[in-house]
Amino acid sequence: MTQAVYQRTAAVSLDELTPFPGNAKRGDVDLILSSLRRNGQYRALVVREIENGPLVILAGNHTAQALAMHGSGACDFTVTVKGEERPCGVCQNEPWDPSARCEVVTCDDDTARRINLVDNRSSEKGTYDRDALTDLLSYLDDDYAGSGYTDADVQILIAPPPSLDELADTYGDPEADDFWPVLKFKVSPEDRDAFYGLTINCPNPNDDAARFSWLLDRARVAAEAEATAAATVPGQS
Ligand SMILES: [Zn+2]
């Protein structure tokens, strides 16, 4: 047995589920619970069945945590959508024993680890089509509950990019040297001390770039002097 093999879909009591040992992801359980209440459990957990062993959650560990956070019994969450009152998507406002809809699979240990890792990784590796995202959000009529977005998130998304004039107001007009190359490198403490020692007479000592320029001028003069001296050494002219 190598790859995951689907066995069945079942509602499983949370008591019978074991979190994936060493799951590295720290999910946003509050956000997931708000989605579950608003949308219901739209996706099954993926759990691994081991002979004579526990049902281990490969994917959906934080959904299980959110369901546990809801707790047993009825809650009084309701939401009004277009004039219609809807109950909590987890408990339907009725007595509820914590459970989750699970797809049960069998697989080997290596595949189990890979599924747990890639399920977490694949969602964070994706990117967004910003226009498509803004479009989708615009259909929600400013009610972002259960979408994972807040009013503030959406404001940032739909805010038009600042104009060049606005940027200039905020940051000032660009200076000629804004686009100059930046040198950045590590040096030993001895070289750093030597740099500041050799440039101590620079007329603008508070500016490392001025010190560097000043040092280059000195090096240029020294190189020219060396070339002149070499040219005047008897027998070499
Ligand atoms: Zn509820």
Using the mean position of ligand 1's atoms as its centre, give its distance from the Cα of residue 65 in Å.
14
pTM of the full predicted structure? 0.68
Using the mean position of ligand 1's atoms as its centre, give its distance from the Cα of residue 88 in Å.
4
Could you tell me the two tokens for 171?
A: 């940051």
Using the mean position of ligand 1's atoms as its centre, give its distance from the Cα of residue 10 in Å.
20
- Residue ending a domain, choose from 87, 108, 126: 126
Residue 118 lies in a domain: yes
Average pLDDT (186-206) is: 94
Q: In whole angstroms, what is the distance from residue 64 CA to residue 49 CA?
A: 16
* Residues 10 and 92 reside in one and the same domain: yes
Q: How do residues 132-163 score in pLDDT, each as one tens digit?
A: 999 999 999 999 999 999 999 999 888 877 88
Give the count of domains, the chain: 2
Higher pLDDT, 8 or 232: 8
**Amino acid 138: pLDDT:** 92
Higher pLDDT, 99 or 172: 99
Using the mean position of ligand 1's atoms as its centre, give its distance from the Cα of residue 109 in Å.
35
Domain encompassing residue 69: 5-126
Average pLDDT of the chain is 92
Using the mean position of ligand 1's atoms as its centre, give its distance from the Cα of residue 149 in Å.
21
What value, to the nearest 5°, has the Cα angle with vertex 132 and ends 128 and 134?
A: 95
